[in-house]
């Protein structure tokens, strides 16, 4: 309660006390006040009967009194019987105010609040402490867990995935030796698909936009293991999590791109595109990763042209050695993407997001594949069908995608013929 509020309440109490005290004092004058139903001025020192309604003008000091209304009589009688007609002293009224102020404060005492804070401190743990505890819990489980232990392992990995998006937390995880004794054994040797999926999600969270973590993961050859999973797995969720971890490891890390993509990495990505067992959503993720890596190299090299020679030497050297576009061509990327769009375009009509990903890839890698794509009648038919179908849609997003497809068609094909269908 504010001080001004307390003072106002105290002032009101003083006024009431004065009125009641004055009402109980004997009159200095013999003339007695005769009350009516109307307000009348009470002369100074004039005695007034008990049980009247009295008021005072604080500005003029004039005191007035009248008989109680019917609605006020019950309240007055209750007050009279309970209080023996004895007015409260000013000291007692001050105590009431103080009590009201005290009760308006926090219900819990300072000692209780202090105890609650100590309990909070006792149970509070930093992210790093939580990570260490989770890892200890995981390591205490058997290597071939029963179903109950499997659920605990999956829960631990899920919590780690959430925590390791933060760079500092990821480094705590690595410094604890967990790449070697937790993630690597799962990704390489574990036969449980759910555990492998969870471990690769943790790996993706660990390495995303975290150069120090990328280096540690690269040094333990995770790239080759992920590529192997992409080439051999037929499980949609496993392929998706492997692509996520693979992309997190490679992006903005030219050394890893050079070592991994020049060997099995590019072959693994193209293999996913060619597989009849892989759904379009994962194939769209593949072409998005390929497109991102191609654009990344071009952007760095273009930016280096405006940089000083010293900076260009240090930032571009690894990208210059990176020949990803040649590896794509040698592994049949152009034909693989053409086949996906030509054969599966009917299914893409219900997946505008995937269509946009494929069209961006066509645009990004046009310089590699334009001679093949511009002569493909099946690819042309697929693109025009998608364009026309989306152009007649009422969905705004599909209309935007149709415009992008139309621009690609204009570049690839004869303008006089692309209005067919």
> Strand 53-56 to strand 40-41: parallel, antiparallel, or no bridges (unpaired)?
unpaired
Confidence of residue 119 (pLDDT cuts 50, 70, 90): low
For residue 197, give the nearest of 158, 152, 141, 171 by alpha carbon: 158
pLDDT for res 83: 46
Tell me: pLDDT of 94 over 90.
no
26: number of Cβ within 10 Å: 6
List, in sequence order, every beta strand (DSSP E) within 20-108. Answer: 40-41, 53-56, 63-66
Written as six digits, the tokens of 348 are 């893409």
Is the sign of the CA dihedral 306, 312, 315, 318 positive or negative? positive
**pLDDT of 276-312, one tens digit each?**
999 999 999 999 999 999 999 999 998 888 766 655 5
Tell me: pLDDT of 27 over 50.
no
Instruction: Give the percent of the chain with pLDDT over 70.
Output: 76
Mean pLDDT of 43-65: 78
Cα distance between residue 161 and residue 200, in whole Å: 9
3-state secondary structure of 318: helix
CA 300 to each of CA 245, 296, 315, 337: distance values in angstroms, whole numbers, following the listed order? 23, 6, 8, 26
pLDDT for res 124: 65
> Helical H runs in 210-253?
211-219, 222-232, 236-250
Mean pLDDT of 352-381: 96
Tell me: pLDDT of 182 over 80.
yes
> Strand 53-56 to strand 63-66: parallel, antiparallel, or no bridges (unpaired)?
antiparallel
Tell me: pLDDT of 418 over 50.
no
pLDDT for res 8: 43
Please state which of the ranges 9-18, 209-218, 248-257, 379-388 shows the lowest mean pLDDT.
9-18
pLDDT for res 421: 46
229 neighbors 289 (Cβ within 8 angstroms): no
Mean pLDDT of 250-272: 97
Cα distance between residue 12 and residue 330, in whole Å: 94
Please state which of the ranges 189-203, 205-219, 253-267, 313-327 shows the lowest mean pLDDT.
313-327
Tell me: pLDDT of 162 over 70.
yes
Contacts of 146 (CB under 8 A, 6+ apart): none
Most confident of 83-87, 118-122, 417-421: 118-122
Confidence of residue 146 (pLDDT cuts 50, 70, 90): confident
Residue with tokens 């102020």: 101
Q: At what angle do helices 280-304 and 266-274 cross, to 10 degrees?
A: 140
137: number of Cβ within 10 Å: 14
pLDDT for res 25: 45
Tell me: pLDDT of 106 over 70.
no
Cα distance between residue 336 and residue 278, in whole Å: 13
Buried b (16+ CB within 10 A) or exposed e, 265-297: bbbbbbbbbbbeebebebbbbbbbbbbbbbebb
Confidence of residue 9 (pLDDT cuts 50, 70, 90): very low
Backbone angles phi, psi at 346, to 5 degrees: -60, -40
Instruction: Give the percent of the chain with pLDDT over 90.
Output: 62
Cα distance between residue 56 and residue 222, in whole Å: 89
Three-class secondary structure assignment of 169-206: HHHHHHHCCHHHHHHHHHHHHCCCHHHHHHHHHHHHHH
252: left (phi over 0), alpha (psi -120 to 50) or beta: left
Tell me: pLDDT of 91 over 80.
no
**pLDDT of 107-116, one tens digit each?**
566 677 676 6
Written as six digits, the tokens of 87 are 């007015």
pLDDT for res 51: 75
3-state helix, strand, coil in the chain (%, to 5): 70, 5, 25
Confidence of residue 98 (pLDDT cuts 50, 70, 90): low
Mean pLDDT of 82-99: 50
């Amino acid at each position: 309660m504010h001080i001004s509020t307390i003072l106002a309440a105290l002032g009101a109490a003083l006024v009431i006390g004065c009125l009641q005290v004055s009402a109980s004092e004997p009159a200095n004058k013999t003339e007695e006040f005769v009350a009516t139903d109307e307000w009348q001025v009470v002369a100074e020192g004039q005695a007034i009967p008990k049980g009247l309604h009295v008021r005072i003008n604080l500005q003029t000091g004039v005191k007035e009194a009248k008989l109680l209304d019917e609605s006020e009589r019950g309240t007055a009688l209750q007050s009279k019987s309970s209080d023996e007609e004895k007015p409260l002293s000013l000291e007692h009224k001050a105590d009431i105010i103080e009590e009201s102020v005290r009760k308006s404060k926090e219900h819990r005492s300072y000692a209780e609040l202090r105890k609650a804070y100590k309990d909070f401190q006792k149970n509070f743990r930093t992210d790093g402490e939580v990570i260490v505890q989770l890892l200890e819990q995981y390591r205490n489980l058997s290597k071939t867990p029963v179903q109950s232990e499997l659920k605990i392992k999956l829960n631990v990995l899920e919590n780690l995935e959430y925590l390791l998006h933060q760079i500092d937390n990821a480094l705590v995880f690595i410094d604890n030796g967990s790449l070697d004794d937790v993630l690597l054994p799962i990704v390489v040797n574990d036969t449980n698909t759910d555990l492998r999926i969870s471990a690769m999600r943790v790996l993706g969270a660990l390495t995303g936009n975290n150069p120090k973590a990328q280096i540690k993961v690269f040094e333990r050859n995770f790239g080759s293991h992920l590529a192997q999973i992409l080439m051999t797995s037929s499980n949609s969720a496993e392929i998706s999590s492997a692509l996520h971890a693979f992309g997190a490891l490679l992006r903005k890390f030219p050394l890893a791109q050079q070592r991994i993509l020049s060997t099995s990495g590019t072959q693994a990505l193209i293999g996913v595109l060619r597989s009849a067992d892989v759904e379009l959503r994962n194939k769209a993720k593949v072409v998005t990763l390929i497109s991102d890596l191609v654009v990344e190299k071009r952007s760095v090299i273009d930016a280096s042209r405006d940089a000083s020679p010293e900076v260009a030497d240090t930032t571009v050297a690894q990208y210059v050695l990176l020949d990803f576009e040649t590896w794509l061509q040698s592994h049949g990327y152009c034909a693989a993407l053409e086949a996906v769009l030509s054969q599966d375009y009917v299914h893409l009509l219900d997946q505008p997001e995937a269509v946009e990903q494929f069209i961006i890839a066509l645009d990004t890698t046009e310089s590699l594949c334009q001679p093949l794509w511009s002569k493909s009648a099946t690819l042309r038919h697929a693109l025009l069908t998608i364009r026309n179908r989306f152009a007649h849609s009422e969905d705004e997003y599909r209309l935007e995608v149709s415009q992008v497809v139309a621009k690609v068609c204009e570049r690839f094909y004869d303008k006089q013929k692309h209005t067919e269908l």
